[in-house]
Amino acid sequence: MLNIVEEIIFNFSNNKSLYIGERLTISEHMIQTAMLAEKNKCSNDLICSSLLHDYGHFVLEYPNQLVSDHIDGNHETIGANYLKKYFDDLSEASKTSLKLQGGIMSDNETKQFEKNINYKNAIKLRRFDEGAKKQNIKIKDIKDYKELLVSKII
């Protein structure tokens, strides 16, 4: 079972694909997201979720193609209610993704979303996600999260 953690670390270290529509790699983006969760003193569950929230993109061969072709990569839509208020703060790539994922939630969809016991954490994660697109900042190494990955996955 330790192999899955080694595989995650390998993929983080070796995947150089840029995060969709942004100027940093998916690995850098996910590590920055986890660092924001840590900075906000979130639970280890949420830090680990933040670290792995875009891991599915590693299996997509051409992630940048999704935005340019306007295809939804079936990446889970989270926090759309949050985005309603903060839509203008989103990067252009995020605005495009949001439209592809169905756009801003209706009041009814919002009520459904709030029934999910994890919706508050989903909104927090989405906030960290949006803030984790900085270039040229010092970030942790994926190996710094090995212990956390082992504790949450194995």
* Interface residues toward Fe ion, by CB under 5 A: 54, 129
Q: Which is nearer to Fe ion, 62 or 108 (CB)?
A: 62
Closest-by-Cβ residue to Fe ion is: 129
Q: What minimum distance in Å lies between the beta carbon of 129 and Fe ion? A: 4
Q: What's the closest the beta carbon of residue 50 comes to Fe ion, in angstroms?
A: 9
**Which residue's CB is nearer to Fe ion, number 1 or number 75?**
75
Minimum distance from residue 1 beta carbon to Fe ion (Å): 26
The structure tokens listed for 109 are 């969809």
Nearest CB to Fe ion, comparing residues 105 and 129: 129
Give min distance, CB of 126 to Fe ion, in A: 8
DSSP the chain: -HHHHHHHHHHHHH--PBPTTSSSBHHHHHHHHHHHHHHTT--HHHHHHHHHTTGGGGG-S-HHHHHHTT----PPP--HHHHHHHGGGS-HHHHHHHHHTT-SPPHHHHHHHTTSTTHHHHHHHHHHHHH---SS-----GGGGHHHHHHHH-
C-beta closer to Fe ion: residue 20 or 107: 20
